Chains A and B, each alone.
Chain A
Amino acid sequence: AQSVTQLDSQVPVFEEAPVELRCNYSSSVSVYLFWYVQYPNQGLQLLLKYLSGSTLVKGINGFEAEFNKSQTSFHLRKPSVHISDTAEYFCAVSGAGVGSGGSYIPTFGRGTSLIVHP
């Protein structure tokens, strides 16, 4: 079974400050990892994904994440946040494709609410 833990339910930060949203996962098989963002009254939008290759993944809106296999983490970072980044952020894990032995149905974390103050 796979699981995801987002360590912070809420992260308040001032505009133009850096931010890190933490995500740890557990799985017995190779995994794909994702970060999604959800704005109020909208669905989830993919920020970035790790499927294979370089462990540093760059996404949209200036976000990046680093896959750390030894620490089973996939933390999301942005060097300078904007008011418009205020939203709910979800980390998700799935088995690395059909045949990996794991479920390819993604498991989502409980979400981290990023609140950017002016």
Chain B
Amino acid sequence: KAGVTQTPRYLIKTRGQQVTLSCSPISGHRSVSWYQQTPGQGLQFLFEYFSETQRNKGNFPGRFSGRQFSNSRSEMNVSTLELGDSALYLCASSLSPGNQPQHFGDGTRLSIL
């Protein structure tokens, strides 16, 4: 069974640009969550999607957004990139919301120059 797949693995952008990251969950998993991991703040929850609806959102500015498609694949978008957005972005999937544990992808390493 394929695991959670995140693309791309690495991305370099400049300030002011926007970026879209993709996540394909484990087959059959319908809940997708996104996390930001940085050395300074650790792992922080961004948002959770289920059945194409955002169910929970963390404490991040509106520049961070996401969506989920009917096949449960999810994308997150960050607009007007700032240097502080440099981080490892992790996607995790589970069968349904509140169903633990979550299964994580290997992440997308985003670097802002």
Residues facing A in B84-111 (CB within 8 A) are 90, 92, 97-98, 100-107, 109
Interface segment out of the listed A17-25, A67-75, A106-114:
A106-114
User: Does B74 count as interface, using CB distance less than 8 angstroms?
Assistant: no
A109 and chain B: residue at smallest CB distance = B42
Which one of B43, B100, B104, B107 contacts A45 once the chains associate, using CB atoms below 8 Å? B104
User: Does B4 count as interface, using CB distance less than 8 angstroms?
Assistant: yes
Residues on the B chain within 8 Å of A44, using CB: 90, 92, 104
User: Does A13 count as interface, using CB distance less than 8 angstroms?
Assistant: no
A-B contact pairs, 20 of them (CB 8 A): A32-B100, A34-B100, A34-B101, A41-B106, A43-B6, A43-B90, A43-B92, A43-B105, A43-B107, A45-B104, A46-B101, A46-B103, A49-B100, A49-B101, A51-B100, A94-B100, A97-B98, A103-B56, A107-B45, A110-B42
Chain A, residues 42-73, CB within 8 Å of chain B (1/0): the string is 11111001010000000000000000000000
Residues on the B chain within 8 Å of A90, using CB: 43
CB pair B100–A106 under 8 Å, yes or no, is yes
CB pair A43–B100 under 8 Å, yes or no, is no
Which A residues are closer than 8 A to B by beta carbons? 32, 34, 36, 41-46, 49, 51, 90, 94, 97-98, 103-111
Complex alpha-carbon distance, A106 and B47, angstroms: 12
CB pair B97–A104 under 8 Å, yes or no, is yes
Complex alpha-carbon distance, A63 and B88, angstroms: 26
User: Does B33 count as interface, using CB distance less than 8 angstroms?
Assistant: yes
Complex alpha-carbon distance, A110 and B113, angstroms: 26
Extra contacts, 15 of them, besides A44-B90, A49-B101, A108-B42 (Cβ < 8 A), are: A34-B101, A41-B109, A42-B107, A43-B4, A43-B106, A44-B92, A49-B100, A90-B43, A105-B48, A105-B58, A106-B45, A106-B100, A106-B102, A107-B45, A111-B42
